[in-house]
Amino acid sequence: MNGAHGWHGAQARLPVAIVGGLNTEARRAAVEEILRTVPGSIALHHDLSAAPDGAVRRTVRDARGLLAEGDAPLVNNCACCALREDLVPELLRLADGGGHRLAVVELWESVVPQAMAAVIAAEGAPLALTGVATAVDPALLVPCLADGNDLAEAGLAAAPTDQRTIADTFARQLEYPTVIAIAEGGAADEPAHDADHALLAQLTPGARRVRTGEAALGAALLEGFDVAAAAARQHPACALLPQEYDEHGVSTLVWRRERPFHPGRLYAALEDLACAAARSRGRFWLADRPDTLLSWDAAGGALCVESAGPWMAALPEAAWEMMPAERRVAAALDWHPRHGDRHQHLTFTSPGLDRDALLILLDSCLLTDAEYAAGPDGWKKLPRAFDGLLDPVA
């Protein structure tokens, strides 16, 4: 069968794997490991650092060295947009050429894997996304998660409108893939080494952790990747969150409650809660917004609170069948006879976590017995403390 882009049958199928990560040396070590251990593999990289000069630099290499290079023009003055526009045509060109067992897309520092995975998966044949990895040096976990500086300040912004922080970007890079490539740098003392690996394990509960140098990374990235399942793992309503754990001085606190938050008391505690852990995530509900599922996303002392749509209990039953299966299962597991799937589920992960103080602070933000007894009609009279955050004036 002859198809578009010169594809001639199933033999031209090109497996594609994504390797990203803010830690440049770890990412490069991981890609070099794949090129060395997977015969017929090739790496495609777009360097966005040249964007101020009006172009994105593209290179293609294999285990022997550079094969080709060129420039991709900026799109709407946006380096990341240029990457999206240029990535698939280059991969299709490599597929047309044949002879490659695996194409490795090595992402630039601040590009998150999820965005590029969706672009590649949407193209379909002859491209087949078979794996997504983030490469990391465990010794850099704490410094990166504590870095609240904007990407723009570090020269890592992917677009003029990019307002992300280093900590937020790094956390999202860690939590999306199914493979974490561990490429350790200089020697560290044993307690610090153990703590770094404990933190990595707690932050990435659903990922397979593979050390570079063990020749298993390439094989792990050929096993297959489900974009829809990965997106579900990230969605606040059914995200795969860390579990309760305490090891080598690193703890994860899982806080689950049924009562809604008092909007005023929670708002007053936001700064302390955002700084309580290296990373915190989850979903929650406010008494004055009972139908809105709210997402909690904090790293580097910066907190992002956003609406993630309605709770399932706020929808008519006819709408349930239109929701993803993962969402329906998550709602059923958390169902409460009075509140439906509305609940608090926040996780806090950090070295030296003060669990007792955090529990006291979180519980103090819930409705008291008297406030809870007032019911939804009474809750509507509570202070609308989050209106400026969730309903900004255009």
Q: Is residue 3 predicted with pLDDT exceeding 70? A: no
Q: Which domain holds residue 323?
A: 245-390
Residue 5 pLDDT: 37
Per residue in 109-167, pLDDT (tens digit) is 999 999 899 999 999 999 999 999 999 999 999 999 999 999 989 889 887 788 899 99
Of all residues in the chain, the percent with pLDDT exceeding 70 is 95
Per residue in 156-196, pLDDT (tens digit) is 988 778 889 999 999 999 999 999 999 987 555 577 789 99
Flag whether 264 is in a domain.
yes
Counted domains in the chain:
2
Rounded CA separation 344/262 (Å): 12
Residue 331 pLDDT: 87
Confidence grade of residue 106 (pLDDT, cut at 50, 70, 90): very high
What is the mean pLDDT of the segment spanning 39-57?
A: 87
Task: Using the 3D structure, point to which of 234, 265, 298 is the last residue of a domain.
Answer: 234
Rounded CA separation 39/41 (Å): 6
Confidence grade of residue 291 (pLDDT, cut at 50, 70, 90): very high
- Rama region for 203: left / alpha / beta (φ>0; ψ in -120 to 50; rest): alpha
54 with 165, same domain: the answer is yes
What does the mean pLDDT of the chain come to? 90
159 with 222, same domain: the answer is yes
Structure tokens at 149: 């500086």
Q: Is residue 279 predicted with pLDDT exceeding 70? A: yes
Residue 187 pLDDT: 54
Where do the DSSP E strands lie in the chain? 14-20, 41-47, 55-62, 65-73, 102-106, 127-136, 179-182, 208-211, 245-247, 250-257, 279-286, 289-299, 302-310, 344-351
Residue 78 pLDDT: 77
Task: Using the 3D structure, point to which of 234, 256, 274 is the last residue of a domain.
Answer: 234
Structure tokens at 309: 């749509």
For residue 302, the domain's CATH number is: 3.30.1220.10
More confident residue, 6 or 331: 331
Tell me the backbone φ, ψ of residue 207, rounded to 5 degrees.
-105, 150
Cα separations in angstroms, 65 against 37, 44, 84, 91, 109? 15, 12, 25, 18, 21
Flag whether 1 is in a domain.
no
Residue 12 pLDDT: 60
Pairing outcome for strands 208-211 and 179-182: parallel
Flag whether 5 is in a domain.
no
Confidence grade of residue 323 (pLDDT, cut at 50, 70, 90): confident
